[in-house]
Structure formats: structure tokens, C-alpha cells
Amino acid sequence: MEAVFSACVGLLTACGIYLLLRGRTFPVVVGLTLLSYAVNLFLFSSGGLTLDGGTVLGATDIYADPLPQALVLTAIVIGFAMTAFAVILAMRARADLGNDHVDGRVPSKQQASSTSTESRSGEKR
Amino acid sequence: MTLLWISLLPILGAMVPLMAGRQSRIQCAWLTAIAPAAALILVLQQAPAVLKGEVLRYSTEWIPQLGLELAFRLDGLTLLFCLLILGIGLLIILYARYYLSEKDSMGRFYSFLMLFMAAMLGIVMSNNLLQLWVFWELTSLSSFLLISFWWQKTEGRKGARMALTVTGAGGLCLLAGILMVQQVVGTLNVDEVLASGDQIRQHPWYTAILIMFLLGAFTKSAQFPFQFWLPHAMAAPTPVSAYLHSATMVKAGIFLLARMYPVLAGTDLWFFIVSLTGLATLLLGAYFALFKHDLKGLLAFSTISHLGLITMLLGLGSQMAAVAAVFHIINHATFKASLFMAAGIIDHESGSRDMRKLNGLIRYMPHTAILAMIAAASMAGIPLLNGFLSKEMFFAETLHQDLLGSLSWVIPALATVAGILSVAYSLRFIHDVFFNGEPIDLPKVPHEPPRYMKIPVEILVALCLAVGIVPNLVVGDLLYAASSAVIGQMAPNVDIAIWHGLNLPLLMSITAVLGGVIVYSQRKRMFRFQGQFQDRDAKLTFEYIIQSMVEGGKRIVLFIDNGSLQRYLLCLLTAIIVIGGYAMLNLQPLKTTREPIPLDAITLVGAFILCCGGLATAFWHHKRLRSLLGLSVVGLVVSIAFARFSAPDLALTQLSVEVVTIILLMLALFFLPQRTPKESTPSRIIRDLSVSGAIGGIIATITYAILTRPVSSISDFFLANSKIGGGGTNVVNVILVDFRGFDTLGEITVLGIAAIGIYKLLLRLRLSMPASDVIGRSWSPERYPMILATVSQSLLPLALLVSVYIFLRGHNEPGGGFIAGLVTSVAVILQYMAHGVDWIKTRLNLDYQRVVASGVLIATLTGLGSWLFGRPFLTSWFDHFHLPLIGDFELASAMLFDLGVYLAVVGATLLILANLGKMTTSYRPLHKEQD
């Protein structure tokens, strides 16, 4: 069980980070959301995995660790606020700048190849 | 306390000339002189005690935890430097009054000068190394201002910049050295550092400490190979040169060497570096001084040479050498300051400093000529003048060392060569300027300067003579006290005598004088020889080095900071991989120490769906709607996972957040491009895949490590105290509203801020609304579908009822303010979608910003309420009541806090979603209008 859980967290992280590295804002926002799922699961796991337990006194025999749950609960809500802020910022950026690239301008490939020391010099092609 | 005043007075005095700038020039000078004169009187008052060997101290604590204090000390060495700084400073003030022209801003000049004086006093009086360093840097800054006083001139600006760069860089090295000393000794206090010389010399860091301190001192004192900045600093007004390059700025480096002498000196390394650098500087300076046609240039190189002499004496390491060094500090300050002033007078009254034009001036300004000739003779080391005495001691000390083994004779020989050159350039200063025919087309006819302009020169020359004739009477005590402070113990009793009998040092002096006369008589040949070398301008070389450093810096910055956010992110992520991965190499291999939980089929299926959802989100990111669907699958599975792993509160929260998130992203997607263009090159995709894969692997490993190791949690406390302390059985909720209520208060505040930030972002947002979807299908003409409208309307009361239920039971069962707030928001949002803004507006006209604010306010007030009962912020209260019919029930202040949370969540969510939803309608937020 632990191995599967960890693998899932790792996969969600990887997918989230891959999307974060994209050049357009919407995939970045989606990646951010995906990453926040992974982070929440990761934080949650710090209390250990408990099956058939609970956090209500007297209702169960096995108690799950309530502290990570409380932290993750607020993290979920704050995560929503962050996603919302990021996506509205993306909308605003697109409206004001005319494109939805994360840099605010679409890098033109011709320019990049002619002036190699400019912005994209270090990139492997 | 007196010590504090001595150092404070010049700082206060720096403001006087700025205020007195409107007064006449002579008044301005007098007013400026008050503060240093007062400080000088205070110093003199303390002098008798110091000369007896006392060390006066003053300190107040500043940040004792960091070893910072405001500490001053006054010992023999400090006394000597204070007298030089304040005494010569006063003379400079008088001299500058006549030197500066009507056009120059008197107030500005004096203010800079006082600032510099204060900084120098700070250096010599500091009893804390870090404090010393601050004043050290202040001298660099204020000398920058002074050198560039004539900022209109290119040379002034360039010279000042060069001086600042070189001395500033040296200052940074000094700081490194000071911090290392602090690490070794554990204190910055000068007294304690001076007492722990052995500890530092035996420490493995000694070499590094020594080199850092020497770099600081050598750059400041213009020692080889850093000597190049000093001649360019001659672009300053002559009073500045006379002050900075005789008694103060360049002597700061010498002072540092002398101050740290008990700590750093006495090793072979010290001898080799310090004395050989001094020797090289001595020779180089003397040689180049001979070939300068500029009066001040000659003096500048001669200064370099004499600084080398003092450095070399300090490097020799014997006690008598240290005494000689201190003696030469005094002598050089007096004769060099008077020479600079004389050069300034000549420049001022004849309009030129070029020795090829200046000739035979003795007939035009005989008085000045005599003064200058005496000072120059002192520089050459002619008997009956102070320069002779210390030079003689220097020659004697070069004979007393045997540090180079059988080659030790080289040092006195080279010293004699330097003596010859020194006599030659002094002779040139005298002969070429005051004799040697007639002036050649000078801009004006030379004449004597105003009477008062000569007074400072006269005083200094008188000192040269007095010290030269009756040394013991004039400076004996001071020299003894200062040398004792340098050596760290009582100095050997020196009897400075003019006549020691016919001995080797005297012979060296005679050789120097005769040799100097011969060299000077052959000067034409030497000039011709020197003319064959290409004249290299240090300024150009310096500028070239600086420029190439700037270029290199730019290139590095451009590589890292190329304006691409993706690049930055990649750098950060790579750093995570490198640092995180490296740290994990040292971790123990993963092995299970806890009983593993057996895997069941349902969980496996859930995990499979989760992975598919995540991969689909990433894979289809070009088709944004599809990607969003994948995201919602992930969110759902995550909430199921929370339910599976005994976290019902989380499951409820995740589920409701999932709904609002997807609605939000769908709305946003409406205004954004529906597809992402394919831009990434294949190699880039591979790169990103490997980076994200590596980080995913690291995170998975950490998660697995956490899950399989023994857990020790503080949660037992919460489980034990939830009921008795917080009055609730749902521990998660009690933690949120009670134990960690302060956290929650912070989080709802952040939520509110985010919502209001979003509202601001939406103001005046110009959006292009697509008329159709990607494929070209137009949107459905029916805006508010009948079935949705009907169903949602009947669902609303139910949903609200559910949210009230979840809210009320939250303290004892899964639920609470967060979840209830989200459920309410979803219900209201559904109404917006089903009926449109108009419909809602007539029925529910809420200002969501107010809702957020009142939520945060209620939560805060609940917290503050506990103050009324004398309890800490956010202490909760609860009790059980009995009412007929209803029965027993519990009331807790935490409920009120949870109500605040509820309102904040509802307000924030609706503020975000409703305003975004309104973007397509006439109700979209504008600056004035809001609803």
C-alpha cells in the first residue's frame, strides 16, 4: 500500500512539474493544481496511512493522526485561492499583453536563432 | 565619555559648513575649524595619561548577542594618529580657505573634509574590529567624494572611481579577515584580539587571515601592486592631496598594520610578504617619482615610496624597526603635507605644475621657496631635519636583519639605491622649480601667496626642523608611547640622536646624498632612457579590466536571467534535484520498519485511475478541455483516497473544492485560447520530462521513507485534550478552530486577500469573448436551460440545509465551517449558472467583499473576546446547557469562530466565481460600480 501511495504522489508531482514547465499559462495553472494535489497527499502521508480509522473521539477504535488532516484541510482551501489567483492573473495577462505566454511575449524562433547570445542562448536545440 | 566626544565632534562638525555655506568664506572656515579644534583640545587633555602608558576606553553595548558595541580606545598609537589627523586637518582647513576659488562650493568641500576626518578618527579610535571596518569603508566613500570634488573634470571622476574600486575591494578583503578573526578568537573587541596573538598565529587559518588583512592594508596604503590608484587620485584639489596622501587616508593601511602588529607579525610569512612588498614599493615609487614632470605626480610617487619604506620597517619585525616605522609616520606626515601645500601654492600662484615650465621661482616667491626647500631636504634625508633621523634608523634596521640568509646584504643595498633616488627626486623638486633658469610661458606671473596661506606650511616646516634638531624633546614621549602600543609591550628605550658617530648607516646616508646628486646631474640621459619605454596609462588598463569584468558579469546574468520564466523554473528545479538528490545519497536505504498495510484490489484500481488521470492531464495539455477533465478525475480520486484513509473531513473539503475549482477553470478557459500551440522542440520535451521525472522520483522516495519509518507525532496531545480542553470530539475541527485557531485565522485572512486581489484584477479587464468553440460551433442559444433552472432552484434549500447541518455538527462529527462554506458556495454558484446574474441580483443582493470582511472580523473578535476574560488570544470557552423540549446541548465560542470561517469561505469563493461569471454580462466589475 505504501509503495503504491508513494508512486502515485511521485507521478502526480512529475505530471504537475512537467506542466509547470510549459510555455503557456493555462497548462501552468493546471500543473499548479495537480502539484497542489500531490503536495496535499504528501503532507497527509506524514501522519501515516490509517485504514478504517477516524478522528472523532469515541466513534472508532483506531485513530488517524488528526494534525496533518487539519493542516491539509486549510491547504486545500488555500490551494483553491492560489489556483484562482493564478488563473485570473493569466486572464488579465492575456487581456493586457495580447498573448498567453508565461513571459508575456511569444519568443520568435527566427530572432532567437539569429541573435544567439540573446534570450535563448543556453538552450539546447 | 571624552572619547565619544572626540569621535563625535567631527561628525557633528560635518554639518556646520553646510549650514555656514552662505557665510563669507573666512567665516565658513573658522566655523568649520571649531569642532576639530575642540576635539584636538580634548585629545591633548587626555595626552598626559596616555603618554604614561594608560589605555583609555569607552564602550556602550549595541547588540551584545552579535558582539557589536560602540567602543573606543585611546592608546599611544591612537594618540599619535589623532594628533596627526586633527592637527594637520586644522592646517588644511586654513589652507583650503585660500586655495579654493570663488566658484568652488566651500561648504560642500569642508563638509566632505570633516566627514573624512571623522571616518579617520573612527578607524584609529575603534576598539571593535567591525566598527573599525565601518569607518574604514567610510574613508573610502568620503575620499571618493573628496577626490571627485571637481566632478566636472574627467580625471577627477575617473581617479575617484579607481580609488574607490581599489580601496573598496580591499575593504571587502579586510572584512573577510575580520570575520575570520572573530571565528578564531570569538570576539571582535580589539583589546581581546590583541591579547590572543598566539592563538591566531597558531591557527590553521592564520595564512588566510594575514593575506586578507594585508590586502586591505596594501590597497589602502597604495603598496605594490595596488599603487596605481594613488597618482590618479592627484586629480583632487591640492588640500585634499595634502591631507589624504600625507597624514590620513594612505596612512590608514599603515595604521592597520601597526594595530594588528602584535597579532599578525612575528612569523616568516609576515616578514616575506610585508617587508618585500614594502621594498618593492619603496624602489618603484622612488624610481618613477624621478620621471614625473608634474609636481604633484612627483610627490604622489614619492608618497608611495615612503609608504613602502614604513611598510618594510613594519615587516622587518624587530622592535627597533617598529619604532623607526612610527617615527617615520610622523616625519613623513609633516614634510609631505608641507610639500603638497607648497606645490599647491606654486600651482595656485603660477598656474602650472609642470616642472618643465616652472623654473627659477625663487626670485618670484622666495619665502615659499625656502619653506619648500627645507621640506624637500627633509624628504631627501638631510641632517638636522626629521627625515634624516628616521631614514638613518631605517638604514640601521636594514643592516640588522638576516632574514634572507646569505643574501641579506641585498636589502641594505637596495635601501641605499632607494635613498639615492629619493635624494635625486628631492633635488629635482628644489633645483628644477626654484632655480634652473627662467619660467617658460607660465599662464601668469608667479608671486607670493596670501600671508595666511603660508602659515600651515610654516608650522609644518618648523616642526620638521624642531624634530630634526631636538628629537627627544619634541616627540620622544609620543614616539615611546606609540611604539609601545605597536609592539604590544614596552618599547626599547630609544635615544634618537643626530650624531651616532661614524658608522655604516651614516655612510649609507652619505652615499645616498652623493649618489642622488650624481643621478640628478645625469637626469637628461635617464629621461631619454625612460622615454624609450612605452608610456602605459594605468587608467586605461584599469578601465579595460573593469569593462571586461562588467562584460563578463553581463554575460553571466544574461545566461541566467534571460527573461524566460521557464528558464528560471528549470534552474530552480535543477537545484532541487542536485541538492535534494545529493542529500538523499546519504540516507539509509529504504526498508520497512513498520508493518506494511496489505494492498487490496479497490485501492489498486483507484491508484490506476489516479495515475491515468494525472498522465492524461499532462499528455493532453494541448487540448485544454480534455486536460481539465483529466484534472477533475484526479481531484475526485484524491477525495476518495482521503475517505479511504480515514479522513472524512478532508474528503468532504476536497470534493467541494474540486467542484468550485473545475467551475473556475471552465469559466477561465472560456476566455483563454482553447488549445495550446505546439512550441516545444523534442529535445526540450525530453529535458522537461527528465527533470519532472527526477523530481517525481525524489518526492516518491521521500514519501515512501516517511510512510515506512516509525512515526512519532504530537497528535496524542490533541486526541487527549480535544474533548476536555476544546469541547469537541471531532479532533480535526477542534484543531482548526481551537488548538491552532491562530493558523486558521491567518488562512482565512489570506483567502480574503486573494479574493480581493482577484476582484481588483478583474476590474476593467478587457476580454475578447469567442463567438464559438474551437471547431466553430456556436454556443447554445439557450442560456439558462429549463431543467437545470428548475432542479437547481429546488436543490437550493436542501443544499443550504445540508450546509447548516454540516456546520453545526462540525465540532463533534466530520464537517465544520470550511466544508459548510464550500457547500453553500456551490449551491449559490449553481443558481448563478442556472438563472443568470439578473435573477440572482433581484433575490440575493449581497456584497461579497463585506461577507469576507465580516467573516474575518467575527473570527478576530471571537479571538479578542477571550481578552475580556483575561485569557490569551483565541482561548475558547464551552459549556453544556439544558433547555426543556430540546434537551442537553453545548455552546462553544469555537462555533462563533467557525462562523467567521464559514462566512470568509463563502464570501471569498463567491467573490471570485460570481465576478468571473459576470464578465460576460453588463454587471462586470468596473471601477466605480460594484454589486
Q: What is the pLDDT of residues B821-848, one digit of tens each?
A: 999 999 988 888 888 887 888 887 788 8
For residue B648, give the chain A residue with the closest CA: A54
Last residue of a domain, one of B479, B514, B531: B531
Residue B514 half-sphere exposure toward CB, CA atoms < 13 A: 6
Contacts of B649 in chain A (CB under 8 A): 55, 69, 73
Containing B69, the helix (H) or strand (E) segment is: strand B68-74
Residue of B652, B643, B653 lying closest to A50 (CA atoms): B643
Contacts of B146 (CB under 8 A, 6+ apart): B109, B112, B113, B116, B236, B237, B240, B244
Contacts of A55 (CB under 8 A, 6+ apart): A63, A64, A66, A69, B646, B647, B648, B649, B730, B731, B732
Any domain includes B502: yes
Any domain includes B594: no
Chain A interface, mutation test: which of B591, B611, B646, B730, most A Cβ atoms within 10 Å? B646
Q: Does pLDDT of A2 surpass 90?
A: no
Q: Does pLDDT of A112 surpass 70?
A: no
Q: Does A94 touch chain B (CB under 8 A)?
A: yes
pLDDT for the residue numbered A125: 35
Query: Average model confidence (pLDDT) for chain B?
Result: 87
Which of A36-40, B11-15, B263-267, B893-897 has the weakest average pLDDT? B893-897
Any domain includes B370: yes
pLDDT for the residue numbered B586: 78
For residue B677, give the chain A residue with the closest CA: A24
Candidates A66, A78, A120; nearest CB to B747: A78
What is the least distance, in Å, from the CA of B540 to any CA of chain A?
Answer: 27
Cβ contact (<8 Å) for B722 and A57? Answer: yes
- The whole-number average pLDDT for the span B343-371 is 89
Beta-carbon pairs below 8 A across chains A and B: 326
pLDDT for the residue numbered B255: 95
Q: What is the pLDDT of residues B721-776, one digit of tens each?
A: 888 877 788 888 888 888 888 889 999 999 999 999 998 888 877 777 777 777 77
pLDDT for the residue numbered B286: 93
Cβ contact (<8 Å) for A119 and B645? Answer: no
Cβ contact (<8 Å) for A11 and B676? Answer: no
Q: Report how far residue A37's alpha carbon sits from residue A43's, in angstroms, rounded to the nearest whole number.
A: 10
Q: Does A34 touch chain B (CB under 8 A)?
A: yes
Beta strand B887-892 pairing with B878-883: antiparallel
- The whole-number average pLDDT for the span B561-581 is 88
Which ipTM was obtained for this model? Answer: 0.87
Cβ contact (<8 Å) for B692 and A44? Answer: no
pLDDT for the residue numbered B923: 65
Residue of B109, B107, B100, B85 lying closest to B9 (CA atoms): B85
pLDDT for the residue numbered A113: 40
- Cell numbers describing residue B677: 500551440
| Backbone angle region of B71, left / alpha / beta, with phi > 0 → left and psi within -120 to 50 → alpha | beta
pLDDT for the residue numbered A122: 38
Cβ contact (<8 Å) for A66 and B731? Answer: yes
Candidates A49, A66, A96; nearest CB to B735: A66
Cα-Cα-Cα-Cα dihedral sign, residues B785, B787, B790, B796: negative
- Domains and their CATH numbers in chain A: 2-121 (1.10.287)
Amino acid in position B709: R
pLDDT for the residue numbered B928: 47
Q: Does pLDDT of B930 surpass 50?
A: no
What radius of gyration do chain A's Cα atoms show?
A: 21
pLDDT for the residue numbered B926: 59
- As to burial, measured by CB atoms within 10 angstroms (0-12 exposed, 13-18 middle, 19+ buried), residue B384 is middle
Any domain includes B382: yes
pLDDT band at B925 (very low <50, low <70, confident <90, very high): low
Q: Report how far residue B281's alpha carbon sits from residue B227's, in angstroms, rounded to the nearest whole number.
A: 8
Contacts of B706 in chain A (CB under 8 A): 45-46
Cβ(B471)–Cβ(B496) below 8 Å: yes
Cβ contact (<8 Å) for A88 and B762? Answer: yes
Residue of B666, B652, B607 lying closest to B634 (CA atoms): B607
Which of B14-28, B201-215, B512-526 has the weakest average pLDDT? B14-28
- Cell numbers describing residue B621: 495539455
- The whole-number average pLDDT for the span B154-164 is 89
Residue of B447, B442, B340, B332 lying closest to B387 (CA atoms): B332
Question: B882 pairs with which residues across the strands?
Answer: B888
Q: Report how far residue B752's alpha carbon sits from residue B908's, in angstroms, rounded to the nearest whole number.
A: 6
Contacts of B634 in chain A (CB under 8 A): 12, 34, 37
pLDDT for the residue numbered A115: 39
Q: What is the pLDDT of residues B905-914, one digit of tens each?
A: 999 999 888 8
Cβ contact (<8 Å) for A62 and B646? Answer: yes
Q: What is the pLDDT of residues B645-661, one digit of tens each?
A: 888 889 999 999 999 99
pLDDT for the residue numbered B868: 81
Q: What is the pLDDT of residues A29-67, one digit of tens each?
A: 999 999 999 999 999 998 888 888 887 887 777 888 888
Cβ(B94)–Cβ(B456) below 8 Å: yes
Any domain includes B212: no
What is the least distance, in Å, from the CA of B829 to any CA of chain A?
Answer: 15
pLDDT for the residue numbered B592: 67
pLDDT band at B777 (very low <50, low <70, confident <90, very high): confident
| Backbone angle region of A64, left / alpha / beta, with phi > 0 → left and psi within -120 to 50 → alpha | beta
pLDDT for the residue numbered B344: 92
Q: Report how far residue B885's alpha carbon sits from residue A35's, in angstroms, rounded to the nearest whole number.
A: 51
Candidates A17, A95, A125; nearest CB to B766: A95
Last residue of a domain, one of B531, B548, B583: B531
Cβ(B420)–Cβ(B515) below 8 Å: yes
What is the least distance, in Å, from the CA of B665 to any CA of chain A?
Answer: 7
Residue of B575, B487, B456 lying closest to B75 (CA atoms): B487
Cβ contact (<8 Å) for B615 and A15? Answer: yes
Cβ(B221)–Cβ(B311) below 8 Å: yes
Q: Report how far residue B193's alpha carbon sits from residue B211's, in angstroms, rounded to the nearest whole number.
A: 17
Q: What is the DSSP letter of A63?
A: B
Residue of B10, B233, B236 lying closest to B120 (CA atoms): B10
Which of B348-362, B489-503, B573-587 has the weakest average pLDDT? B489-503
Domains in chain B, number: 2
Candidates B707, B754, B905; nearest CB to A2: B707
DSSP three-state, residue B53: coil
B613 vs B892, more confident: B613
Contacts of B822 in chain A (CB under 8 A): 77
How many residues in chain A?
A: 125
Cβ contact (<8 Å) for B650 and A88? Answer: no
pLDDT band at B929 (very low <50, low <70, confident <90, very high): very low
Q: Does pLDDT of B142 surpass 90?
A: yes
Cβ contact (<8 Å) for B683 and A125? Answer: yes
Q: Does A99 touch chain B (CB under 8 A)?
A: no
Domain range for residue B391?
A: 279-531
What count of other Cβ atoms lies within 10 Å of the Cβ of residue B78?
29
Q: Report how far residue B416's alpha carbon sits from residue B424's, in angstroms, rounded to the nearest whole number.
A: 12
pLDDT for the residue numbered B377: 93
Q: What is the DSSP string of B657-713?
A: HHHHHHHHHHHHHHHS-SB------HHHHHHHHHHHHHHHHHHHHHHHHHHHS----
Q: Report how far residue B808's alpha carbon sits from residue A61's, in angstroms, rounded to the nearest whole number.
A: 24
Candidates A21, A55, A67; nearest CB to B688: A21
Cβ contact (<8 Å) for B719 and A100? Answer: no
pLDDT for the residue numbered A85: 92
Question: B623 pairs with which residues across the strands?
Answer: B675
Q: Report how far residue A45's alpha carbon sits from residue B822's, in angstroms, rounded to the nearest whole number.
A: 24
Candidates B573, B597, B715; nearest CB to A67: B715
pLDDT band at B529 (very low <50, low <70, confident <90, very high): confident
DSSP three-state, residue B427: helix
Q: Which position has the grid cell 454587471?
A: B923
Which of B357-366, B445-454, B833-842 has the weakest average pLDDT? B833-842
pLDDT band at B931 (very low <50, low <70, confident <90, very high): very low
What is the least distance, in Å, from the CA of A97 to any CA of chain B?
Answer: 11
Contacts of B814 in chain A (CB under 8 A): 56
Any domain includes B95: no
What count of other Cβ atoms lies within 10 Å of the Cβ of residue B51?
16
What is the least distance, in Å, from the CA of B640 to any CA of chain A?
Answer: 12
What count of other Cβ atoms lies within 10 Å of the Cβ of residue B764?
12
Cβ contact (<8 Å) for A56 and B644? Answer: no
Chain A interface, mutation test: which of B645, B763, B764, B856, most A Cβ atoms within 10 Å? B645
What count of other Cβ atoms lies within 10 Å of the Cβ of residue B547?
10
How many residues in chain B?
A: 931
B312 vs B725, more confident: B312
- The whole-number average pLDDT for the span B113-135 is 93
pLDDT for the residue numbered B458: 94
Candidates B566, B597, B634; nearest CB to A2: B597
What count of other Cβ atoms lies within 10 Å of the Cβ of residue B491?
21
Q: Is the peptide bond before A107 cis (omega within 30 degrees of 0)?
A: no
Cβ contact (<8 Å) for A6 and B707? Answer: yes
Q: Does A61 touch chain B (CB under 8 A)?
A: no
How far apart, in Å, do the first and last CA atoms of chain A sit? 42
Q: Report how far residue B322's alpha carbon sits from residue B270's, in angstroms, rounded to the nearest whole number.
A: 14
Any domain includes B474: yes
Cβ(B901)–Cβ(B862) below 8 Å: no
Cβ contact (<8 Å) for B645 and A49? Answer: yes
Q: Does pLDDT of A108 surpass 80?
A: no
Contacts of B298 (CB under 8 A, 6+ apart): B289, B290, B292, B355, B425, B428, B429
How far apart, in Å, do the first and last CA atoms of chain B sit? 67
For residue B697, give the chain A residue with the closest CA: A10
Cβ contact (<8 Å) for B562 and A121? Answer: yes
Cβ contact (<8 Å) for A37 and B638? Answer: yes
Q: Does pLDDT of A116 surpass 60?
A: no
Q: Does pLDDT of B631 surpass 90?
A: yes
For residue A109, give the chain B residue with the closest CA: B679
Chain B interface, mutation test: which of A32, A36, A51, A67, most B Cβ atoms within 10 Å? A67
Q: Report how far residue B340's alpha carbon sits from residue B361's, in angstroms, rounded to the nearest whole number.
A: 16
List the Cα angle B247/B368/B357 in 5-degree steps. 95
> How far is CA A67 from each of CA A6, A44, B371, B709, rounded to the nearest angstrom?
20, 9, 87, 18
pLDDT for the residue numbered A117: 39
Q: What is the pLDDT of residues B7-64, one digit of tens each?
A: 889 989 888 888 887 778 888 888 889 999 999 999 999 999 988 888 899 988 888 8
Cβ contact (<8 Å) for A73 and B603? Answer: no
Q: Does A91 touch chain B (CB under 8 A)?
A: yes
Q: What is the DSSP letter of B722?
A: I
Candidates A5, A85, A100; nearest CB to B707: A5
Last residue of a domain, one of B482, B500, B531: B531
Cβ(B124)–Cβ(B488) below 8 Å: no
Q: Does pLDDT of B590 surpass 80?
A: no
Q: Report how far residue B232's alpha carbon sits from residue B163's, in angstroms, rounded to the nearest whole number.
A: 8
Cβ(B610)–Cβ(B638) below 8 Å: yes
For residue A6, give the chain B residue with the closest CA: B700
